[in-house]
Chains A and B, each alone.
Chain A
């Protein structure tokens, strides 16, 4: 789909403004070191609504960073403050070490791919892509070269003469991407850019975005409410809720070791059980559930015996052992009464009830061509101690209401 000389061309050109290039940049970078975007205690209020609540964020140079969260959690507002379309009520925004809190959008070296693409209907594709370069008075010849390269990069070579009305949604999305990237901004902001595409195209564009990001080496800040998309595409994810960041880390980390109940629920299904910490044993922590069953968890020296904890495990980490199996030495096990089994081809999804009356679910590979148990049977749910994550019980009410997707 992509011809290599052009790709190399772009990378080569990128070298001219690569942050590692010494010319005069080191001084400006110094204050924030590795971080290209820094938000410091940023608050944004709309009347009574606190859209962004004392947000601190550091985004590293060259990373694919995602902000993930339910609708209304403040993702767009945060992005707009970085882009210069919204002024923070409090706090500071720095770009490449420079305070840009009061700098208008048109003077920031940041470009945005808007959710609705925002292509100019009165200009053709070429003029759309050339728009930013022309505002910077780039010579016509270079405009032509760079626009052509940018259209190549998004696999739209030869589409220059078309108008917005002659493009599909996916193509408009690519034009919007080319129009932003052609300016070689320090940071590219993307606000749910794939939201309007159908599933297949969406998956394809996720991979392509990732490829393009690697190729041009520009920092991408990507907003989405789709956890799978965020995990597929990102180097790091900030999971947001109610204007705050609940957890920030690489996809595996936020998925496997969610720090809050909200993160655990938002990134996928999870089974949560309440218990009390009973000290450590053989390098693992011991948690006693209400039923008296003991669960082993990755240990943490900061825990105190007697402390209440909530432990969790993802459904796909659970193996369902047939009825009659006893507890095993190396695995965590709890008893569960099978309520229902849902056949999904490659797997079964089981729903259980534990002795404490909690619901638990498990995904199990369809290895034997049938469900492991019949509804009503008591089986054992087993999982490895290291697959258990721990959530502190601070304010049990705070995250009670789990928010769905948009």
Chain B
């Protein structure tokens, strides 16, 4: 390095430093714009919902119109029950479907199935609700937890299938070959080696589907409908958080509005928590 070059170096460095500062500032600003709506929504819901939250909210039935107090115990339980039922109905077939589409993509049937699943992910949830209404509510003679769960399941299935498929495609062929070369039948290689290799990423997809189903309102409006009391059987209409929030929000009563906000706060928190948990899980296992 010659003497003349020496003093120039710091200036270049300073200029680079400035550029990188600018770039960082731009990125931070953009990130801020992206996060801002989220923060606004959550803080507004928290401010409106928090005052109405108390222990009663979690286990009491709704109070009759005009009376104060009461809770959303039945709606919370109904949501939990329907999400579990829809999960049981949709996760296993979703996983198998994703596995089939990813691993047998040379078969016509697999390509057709993939196309159908793609279409299903795009169907508006209200249409799925209508479908469940026509196929289940009408033939069974009434609204029921079964019909609501089926509608949610139809929404979850393609999400689970799509993520499973996408994850499995990323798993190198080498792994399949190693399994086969150990003298294992293909189905064991797929179910016990390949699915296992992708399990944490697949679990993330399942969690996201659960989060999505927990918040869906439209497909429940004319499948599980609503119930102001504890449902005695799964063949009865059943309350759920989203529908209860909807019902209360459009009511004329101040007290019900407060409860609707509290319900929203719970719902949003649960959905956030599921999302966060699945990301954490993915991060922990991928390290």
Q: A and B bound?
A: no
